[in-house]
Amino acid sequence: MSHPASASRYFVPQPSHWPLVGSIALLLLASGAVLMMNSIANGGFVLLAGLAVLTTMLFGWFGRVIGESEGQRYNLQVDRSFRWAMAWFIFSEVMFFVAFFGALFYIRVLAIPDLASPEQAALWEGFQDSWPSAGPGASDPFSQMHAWGIPAVNTLLLLTSGATLTWAHWGLVAEKRSQLILGLVLTIVLGVTFLAFQVYEYGEAYAHLNLKMTTGVYGSTFYMLTGFHGFHVTLGVTMLTVILFRVLKGHFTAERHFAFEGVAWYWHFVDVVWLGLFIVIYWL
């Protein structure tokens, strides 16, 4: 079990307590969230305890995996299993966004026209088939977030970050560590800048456009899609930061660097999803 990997040996790790720690973290997070939603005392402390336990689990579990990788425990068979696992994980994330895009399609193409049809006139008098729309019965006015402003800048930022990450990968393959490090730093900076603009955009939407999560169906779909994507960008920046620290510690070679590749796959997936969001949320 403890010997370095060989071509004929599939590494099987020793029993670990980290899955149990992760389960406790999820229990605390769920309990704290429920307590807070019901305004029960100490819910916030329970939620913070869950976050602390989850952070401990992530550092401990991933630290162990990194140690096994650097100890050459993983052969090509393990490497293939990691690649398949990451591919299925990204596929599951794609399905999340397919569901959200599907909800938006249903609202815009089917629900809104049906509610504005003559058959529904008696029920929703005066409601018109137009987009954006908060839906029938909503009277609070709001303005749409237009594409050619912060959203266009954010699109440029994410597309550029994809290029800098690819450039960093080229540096890793060519064993040019300075290019690798600079490319990663630029990618992280671009990702953080994207998130800062996203937060600023939300502030502008609330303060000046009256576009809120309570602004009917348009507000809920806008924040659901862009917010969920922003969460993925945050996760991607976090993973890229971990990869950067590993690079600074001398991890990865031109032949063995799947952790870098896996994060790169994820980041390019985030880029592609944003292009879809930019088109259907802001442009069309």
pLDDT in tens, 75-105: 888 888 889 999 999 999 999 999 999 999 9
How many whole angstroms separate alpha carbon 263 and alpha carbon 246?
13
Q: What is the pLDDT of residue 178?
A: 94
pLDDT averaged over every residue in the chain:
90
Output 227 or 14, whichever has higher pLDDT: 227
| Residue 252 CB burial class (10 angstroms; 0-12, 13-18, ≥19) | buried
Using alpha carbons, list the distances in angstroms from residue 37 to 33, 141, 169, 191, 221: 6, 29, 44, 31, 22
pTM, entire model: 0.87
The pLDDT of 221-250, averaged and rounded, is 94
| Residue 183 CB burial class (10 angstroms; 0-12, 13-18, ≥19) | buried
CA angle centred on 214, ends 219 and 38, rounded to 5°: 130
130 pLDDT higher than 90: no
Q: What is the pLDDT of residue 48?
A: 95
- pLDDT band with cut points at 50, 70 and 90 for residue 269: very high
139 pLDDT higher than 80: no
Q: What is the pLDDT of residue 1?
A: 43
- pLDDT band with cut points at 50, 70 and 90 for residue 19: very high
- pLDDT band with cut points at 50, 70 and 90 for residue 213: confident
Q: What is the pLDDT of residue 89?
A: 95
- pLDDT band with cut points at 50, 70 and 90 for residue 5: low
List of domains in the chain: 1-74 (1.10.287.70), 81-283 (1.20.120.80)
